[in-house]
Amino acid sequence: MILKVLLINPPIYDFAAYDFWLKPYGLLSIAGHLRGKADFVIFDYLNRLHPFVTRQKELQSDQWGRGRFFCEKLPNPPCLETIPRYFRRFGLPRDIFRDFLAQHKPFDFVFIQTTMTYWYQGVKEVIDDIRKAWPQAKIVLGGNYVTLCSSHAEKLGANFLVQGTNLDPLWKYLDITPDMSQPALWEVYEKLKVGVLKLSQGCPFNCTYCSVPKVYGKFKARPLQRSLDELELLAKYGIENIAFYDDALLCEAEKVLVPFLNEVVKHNIKVNFHCPNALHARFVTQELAEIMARAGFKTFYLGFESASSNWQKRTGSKVFCDELVSAVKNLTTAGANPQNITAYQILGHPYGDIQELEESMRFVHSLGIRGMLADFSPIPETPDGEFCRKWVDMDEPLFHNKTAFPIILMGFDESNRLKDLQRQLNRSLT
């Protein structure tokens, strides 16, 4: 008898959340490897094409498919009681899921996506509801929170945890042989406008605030054909926007991204590409910028973090100021709209004293592009995350919260002042 598997993307408990092309790509990839070998249904609390959401005008998408989630206010968790921001639950209301459980016979397995470490309360909510309605269902967790906080995740009440990227224990647990050449199971959605692709895994850099070097190791490309098959599947769906989830999308571009984009151009595939997970400015040559623009890249996010060379060197030297200048020049020469080029800078990093953040923001502004402050989330077992034990209990993942940590480190007023300044600078772009 074919197994029945329910896929779940849980609600988010946080001070802020926005659909910045968020898709449960790990969950869909796992299900893709089991295509045809199990029956799948998805319950995605963050699906903004659900009728509950599409009925609400203020939750409509912007021109690139991003938008707000439905949310409900909650009291702050006790350990974040002093953070002067509203804590909320984002995603479809709990009753919709409880009705779903009541209307369906129990599935054999429930796979739950975990994402940010500090979002575990949403995972717990889902597990509690499943346990009540379907006590026999086997609950499997995987993804970033499980990988980075495995001993914490073990206490949530699931049956099986997939830590890291080795999936062999999962296939053994399910007693199914996967087909690793299959793309993600996008067809499990009834409607879809935004998709995700990942052409590679890992990163050649070693930034002290990032978990990627430890979890994924060095950069490795995925087979081109698999990515093209996935693109074809997404294109068949009529997808309008695709976000890349690669850690180092531009690394070895001549072997990975360029051949992929050449196929996009050759087959005249019309989609808008986005890179919310930040590009390496160092790799944006004129030639690469041209093919990216031609193939349909519409928004460009560059990881910059700080203009202080002292800070850049101390955290891993992934980018220097002249490389940002040259990347911006190459992108605009290729036709990118400067309003759609954004440089991220970390707010609330523990070496804030040498970051010269305000000067960095003005430097980014002087290039005629937008700046975006990326609140710092301390990550356990990274050098900078471990350093943060000075200020917070890193064994409680709620303290990794990106809104909370900068406020704990630098105070509410200073954090707000810098955010206001960033808004002003962006507004004054001509």
x/- track of binding to ligand SF4 for residues 298-327 (CB under 6 A): -----x------------x-x---------
Q: Is 374 in the site for ligand SF4 (CB under 6 A)?
A: no
x/- track of binding to ligand B12 for residues 131-150 (CB under 6 A): ---------xxxxx--xx--
Q: Is 112 in the site for ligand B12 (CB under 6 A)?
A: yes
User: Given strand 160-162, what is the order of strands in its sheet?
Assistant: 38-44, 3-9, 109-114, 138-143, 160-162
Can you tell me which residue has the tokens 């197994």? 3
Q: Which residues 6+ apart lie within 8 Å of 74 measured at CB?
A: 13, 87, 88, 89
Nearest distance from C-beta of residue 108 to ligand B12, angstroms:
14
Q: Is 279 in the site for ligand SF4 (CB under 6 A)?
A: no
Nearer to ligand B12 by C-beta: 23 or 282? 23
Nearer to ligand SF4 by C-beta: 134 or 205? 205
Sign of CA pseudo-dihedral 319, 323, 328, 331: negative
Please report, as residue ranges, which positions from 344 to 373 form the binding site for ligand B12 (by CB under 6 A): none
Nearest distance from C-beta of residue 110 to ligand B12, angstroms:
9
Q: What does 22 interact with, of ligand SF4, ligand B12, none (CB < 5 to 8 A by kind)?
A: ligand B12
Determine whether 208 is exposed, middle or buried from the number of CB atoms within 10 Å of its CB (0-12, 13-18, 19+). middle
CA distances to 29, 111, 148, 215, 318 from 218, in Å? 21, 28, 18, 10, 14
Q: Is 247 in the site for ligand SF4 (CB under 6 A)?
A: yes
Can you tell me which residue has the tokens 């005008």? 57
Counting residues that bind ligand SF4 (by CB under 6 A) gives 12
Return the amino acid letter for 177: T
Strand-pair category, 138-143 with 109-114: parallel
Q: How far is it, in rounded angstroms, from Cα 96 to Cα 73?
A: 18
What is the SS3 assignment for 20? Answer: coil
Nearest distance from C-beta of residue 87 to ligand SF4, angstroms:
27
Nearer to ligand B12 by C-beta: 228 or 267? 228
Q: What does 203 interact with, of ligand SF4, ligand B12, none (CB < 5 to 8 A by kind)?
A: ligand SF4
Q: Is 20 in the site for ligand B12 (CB under 6 A)?
A: yes
Q: Is 404 in the site for ligand SF4 (CB under 6 A)?
A: no
Q: How far is it, in rounded angstroms, from Cα 331 to Cα 145?
A: 35
Q: What does 27 interact with, of ligand B12, ligand SF4, none (CB < 5 to 8 A by kind)?
A: ligand B12
Nearer to ligand SF4 by C-beta: 139 or 373? 373
In 298-384, where do the E strands start and end?
Answer: 300-303, 341-347, 370-375
Check if the beta carbon of residue 332 is closer than 8 Å to that of residue 390.
Answer: no
Nearest distance from C-beta of residue 211 to ligand SF4, angstroms:
8
Q: How far is it, in rounded angstroms, from Cα 326 to Cα 24?
A: 34
Nearer to ligand SF4 by C-beta: 303 or 350? 303
Nearest distance from C-beta of residue 277 to ligand B12, angstroms:
4
Residue 363 has phi, psi (to 5 degrees) of -65, -50
x/- track of binding to ligand B12 for residues 159-188 (CB under 6 A): ---x--x-x--x------------------
Return the amino acid letter for 314: R
- Given candidates 402, 404, 407, 409, which one binds ligand B12 under the rule CB under 6 A? 402
Say how many CA atoms lie within 13 Å of 369 toward its Cβ. Answer: 29
Q: Is 24 in the site for ligand SF4 (CB under 6 A)?
A: no
CA distances to 29, 203, 343, 390 from 226, in Å? 12, 20, 31, 45
Q: How far is it, in rounded angstroms, from Cα 335 to Cα 293?
A: 7
Nearest distance from C-beta of residue 144 to ligand B12, angstroms:
4
Six-digit token pair at 357?
């953040």
Determine whether 6 is exposed, middle or buried from the number of CB atoms within 10 Å of its CB (0-12, 13-18, 19+). buried
Torsion (CA) 173, 175, 181, 182 in degrees, nearest 10 = -90
Please report, as residue ranges, which positions from 200 to 219 form the binding site for ligand SF4 (by CB under 6 A): 203, 205-207, 210, 212-213
- Residue 65: enclosing H or E segment and its boundaries? none
Nearest distance from C-beta of residue 213 to ligand SF4, angstroms:
5
Q: Is 277 in the site for ligand B12 (CB under 6 A)?
A: yes
Q: Is 303 in the site for ligand B12 (CB under 6 A)?
A: no
Nearest distance from C-beta of residue 266 to ligand B12, angstroms:
27
What is the SS3 assignment for 197? Answer: strand
Nearer to ligand SF4 by C-beta: 278 or 334? 278
Residue numbers of the site for ligand SF4 (CB under 6 A)?
Answer: 203, 205-207, 210, 212-213, 247-248, 303, 316, 318
Binding site for ligand B12 (CB under 6 A): 17, 20, 22-23, 25-27, 29-30, 111-113, 115-118, 140-144, 147-148, 162, 165, 167, 170, 198, 210-212, 216, 245, 247, 276-277, 374-375, 377, 379, 400, 402
